[in-house]
Structure formats: structure tokens, C-alpha cells
Amino acid sequence: MTIKKIVVGVSGGVDSAVSALLLKNKGFEVIGAFMRNWDEIDEAGQCSGEKDFADAEYVCRKLDIPLFQVNFVKDYWNNVFLKFLEDYKSGLTPNPDLMCNKTIKFDIFYDYSKKTHNADCIATGHYARTSFGQFLENSEQGKNVKLLQAYDKFKDQTFFLSGINQRVLKETIFPLGRYHKNEIKSMAKKAGLEKLALKKESTGICFIGKRNFQDFIQEYIEPKPGNFIDIDTGDIVGQHIGIHAWTVGQRCRIASFKKPYFVAKKLERDIMVASGTDHPALYSNTIIGDSASWISDNPFSFSNKIRCQFRFQHTKPLVPCTLELDSASNKFVVNLDNPLRAVTPGQFGVFYKEEECLGCVRIINSFTK
């Protein structure tokens, strides 16, 4: 595969800026594209997208590459945000970042780049690698590509890329996969992009901003009050505005009790709470999942049971597990070697085999055997 033209998702941050820089220095024809996925005014009366676009323009001027702005607001609303709301209404806790990557950045954006710019491939500032090499130098027709963890394990973002498909991954470059964050900032400073190296990184869910989550979610979901119920005694210990405003493991802030309460399980209207941060009801060693996405090969091609590693939060350590396909129910059963706290229905369980990210399943239940 001969690569000449690459469309880079330029976000206005240092990572995508250095990605574009590395590709240009490598001699590729680089085109910048700024994806506008959310356009609501934030709590300060400003649209953060405008600030980010201004920074993206600054980057592309500095690097002397063209920049296009592409509006995916409607796509994001329909494919990510509405599903996010439906999940919360049902008592689930979704992961919009993973869904955005799967349905927007590595699907709709890929198609846009191919059709509008006739690009050979796309690139982003994610910290990840592929088995095809840093610049797809080992790509072969018909050969599957594997998604691999970045050298910088703290910044590794394969967790959020675990829903990506082969069609797109084969033509995606992750220039930062072999670098650490401090190296990226140093490159930016040397290239005259110091203000981006000093820019505060965005964290959390993009459309919430700095707002309190419970205040934000009430703007979109009608309150359905219910009770907090002590999981040990069955006593009602408080009231809440609706299961949509709470997630498993979250502290409830219920007054007049010696030990703090934490969400253990959400029912149709009530919430079961456990007293104490290390209550056994907050831990699980068995997880049930569905809606699997496998990146390179189906791990169950030769057996219905494999040994691998698991995480459901990208910052947490990997936990050894046995992953089994229940052919009767077409569900996936994860038996953890060590129990985990606050495994949350609606989140994604992501699986690894050494450095390779195998893919993910959607968590629908968890418990202790």
C-alpha cells in the first residue's frame, strides 16, 4: 500500500498537532480536519468548540497545511448522545467516548476523508499502535491488523479504540504510539507550538464540561424519584431524584449515618446502597456481557474459552481473567482472578492479550459467585 495523502483529525490540542507535524516531516501530503461534534454553549456562556477550532487554525498555519472544518453535530447527536440518554433512562452508565470513536471518528470521519479528500488513510493523536507499524509500513493486502498498546502505558488509549473495525484500522495511522507524553510536548515546543504544549488537557465527557453531572442530566431526563434502600437491612435510608442520576460505586451523601453509603445496585426505581466503601456488595468477580466487537480475529475461533486480561476503566490495572462464550445464550462470561469494585452495567469490558487489544463487550450484569 502506497500512502501519499493523509487526513489528520486536528482537535486544537498538542497531541493531534504533533501527529500532523510528524507526518509532514515524513513527507506525506497532510490535510487537517477539525471535527465539530458538539455545539452547545457551556456553563460560562461560551462554546468550547470555537476555542479549539481557533487553536486548530493556529496549528495548521504554523505547519503550513490546509484545514477543513466538518460538522458532525447531527451524527453525534443521533449516534452517541441520544443513545447516551436512553442508557441513563434505563439505569445504565454508558461510555460516550468509546462510542464516539466507534461511530464518528473511526467511521463517519473515515468515510468523509476517503470520499471528500480521496485520502489514502486517516491519522489521529491517540496514543496507540498497530501491527502494521507507525506509518503502516508493514501493511499487506488481505492481512488483518492488530491494535497494540502505546509505549506510554499511562497515556495508552486503546481502551477507547476497542470498538474500531478492521476496515478503518487498516488505513489508520497513530503517529504518537511510540512516544511518551513528555516527548510530544518537547517536540511541540521545538516546532514553535509551545502554547499547545502548555494548554490544559480536556478531561471528562465533552458535552458536560465543568457542570455538575446531576444538574446536566436533569436538563434532558425527567426526574423519577425513588428510595435509597440499605442492601443489608432492607430499610429505606433516603430518597433520590431518579436512577439516571447515579452510577454503581458512587457515594450517595445520605445524612445522619456513621458510615457513608455507596450505590450497589439500581432497580427499576429504587437504588440499593451499601454502607462502607469496601462493602462486599460493591465487588464482583463474574461479569456478563453482550454486543461484542473483536478487532482483528474472533478469539473464539478454536475454543469457547480463553485466558486474557480485562479492564472496564482505562486508568485501572489489567486483571487476569477467563473469558467464555456461552453459545446457548450468545452472552459472554468473564471470570476475574481478582474481584473488582463497582463494575458498572452499560460500560464496556475491554480485553487484552499481552500488548494486543482484542476488543470489547458491553457489560449487562456483574456479581460475585
Domains and CATH numbers, the chain: 5-197 (3.40.50.620), 222-277 (2.30.30), 282-367 (2.40.30.10)
Choosing from 47, 60, 121, 206, the catalytic residue is 206
Q: To the nearest whole number, what is the mean pLDDT of the chain? A: 93
The C-alpha angle with vertex 193 and arms to 187 and 194, in degrees rounded to 5, equals: 85
The mean pLDDT value for 85-101 works out to 94
**Whether the model pTM is above 0.85:** yes
Report d(CA 244, CA 216) in Å as an integer: 11
- Give every strand in the sheet of 271-275, ordered side by side: 236-240, 226-230, 271-275, 261-266
* CA dihedral sign of residues 233, 234, 236, 241: positive
Mean pLDDT of 35-60: 78
Confidence of residue 49 (pLDDT cuts 50, 70, 90): confident
Q: Given this model, what pLDDT does residue 200 score?
A: 84
Q: What is the pLDDT of residue 46?
A: 52
Enter the C-alpha cell of residue 261: 453509603
Amino acid, single-letter form, for residue 343: V
Tens digit of each residue's pLDDT (9 = 90 or more) over 254-284 = 988 888 999 999 999 999 999 999 999 999 9
CA 340 vs CA 16, 77, 283, 291: distances in Å: 34, 33, 5, 21
Model confidence band, residue 53 (pLDDT cutoffs 50, 70, 90)? very high
Is 206 among the catalytic positions?
yes
Range from 40-49, 220-229, 353-362 carrying the lowest mean pLDDT: 40-49
Q: How far is CA 269 from CA 12, 24, 62, 90, 244, in A?
A: 42, 55, 54, 10, 10
360 tagged catalytic: no
State mean pLDDT over 295-307: 93
Mean pLDDT over residues 148-167, rounded? 97
pLDDT in the model for residue 217: 83
Q: What pLDDT digit, counting tens, does each position of 189-246 carry?
A: 999 999 999 988 776 666 666 667 777 888 899 999 999 999 999 999 999 999 999 9
Under a CB-based contact definition with an 8 Å cutoff, are residues 8 and 176 in contact? no
The residue whose grid cell reads 507535524 is: 21
CA distance to 206, 216, 223, 259, 291, per residue, from 219 (Å): 16, 6, 10, 31, 29
Q: What is the mean pLDDT of residues 98-122?
A: 97
Q: Residue 129 corresponds to which amino acid?
A: R
Cell numbers standing for residue 34 = 477539525
The DSSP bridge partners found for residue 241 are none
Mutual orientation of helices 48-63 and 14-25 as an angle, nearest 10°?
A: 20
Catalytic residue among 60, 100, 121, 360: 100
Q: Rounded CA gap, 273 and 86, in Å?
A: 23
Confidence check: pLDDT of 106 > 90: yes
